[in-house]
Amino acid sequence: LRSCSPGRARRTNASRRACLVARFGDIYAQERLDAETLLKTYISDIEMVQRIIYIAAVESFHAAKMAYRQFKIRVRDTLSLGHSGPESLEDTVLDYIVRHEDLYDVQGSVNEVIRSMNINPKISFPPEIDFIVISTLIRELCRVAFSMQTLVPPLDIAFGTDGELFSETKYHRSFDSDFTAALVAYHVWPALMENDVVIVKGEAVTKR
């Protein structure tokens, strides 16, 4: 049996992970606030603005993960025809995806996110405006979410529901929260997870 040497993707895993975790933090600090400022020019309800941004984040990760799965299947089907090693087929596929992330159709994911948001019953938008106004935020989230799927293990966001018990390990409370309240009224930003362990806290609003 040939010994399988770790591929380039696995060798660079730690440095890519650090960059992506930092980028996720940057998006929270910059693009999220830019999107919030933009939305406030159309919507006076700050809760609705924050709900829109949170749902955009959740839908971006969902769309990017779906796109990654489809991309990986196509790459595996193509590379399996001529694969002979020394790396395993899985490592070869991963290396190819990491080297060719520019082939990811990010605009397709952005369109998918906007379609999903348009039919989401929890958020509404003035009819003369389109969610495309926050496409910069959506695009950056899709990019980082897609890249996070190439990590071993991949990174994902925590699943959050209105009314869930507030978790100190998962979220920071927003400044306008009721700090004595035990339940989440709504989420502002998702927590980042690795194997069900929180590595970056999200943000939530607690109210009685």
pLDDT at 5 exceeding the cut of 60: no
pLDDT at 86: 62
Tokens found for residue 9? 């993707």
As a whole number of angstroms, the distance between CA 28 and CA 57 comes to 10
pLDDT at 3: 37
Tokens found for residue 5? 């040497």
Lowest mean pLDDT among 36-40, 124-128, 129-133: 124-128
pLDDT at 37: 97
As a whole number of angstroms, the distance between CA 49 and CA 131 comes to 11
pLDDT at 85: 64
Token pair 């082939």 is found at 103
As a whole number of angstroms, the distance between CA 158 and CA 156 comes to 7
Give the closest residue to 95 by CA, choosing from 70, 76, 67.
Answer: 76
pLDDT digits (tens, 9 = 90+) for 192-203: 999 999 999 999
Lowest mean pLDDT among 81-90, 183-192, 199-208: 81-90
Give the closest residue to 64 by CA, choosing from 125, 127, 154.
Answer: 154
- The larger pLDDT score, comparing residue 66 to residue 74, is at 66
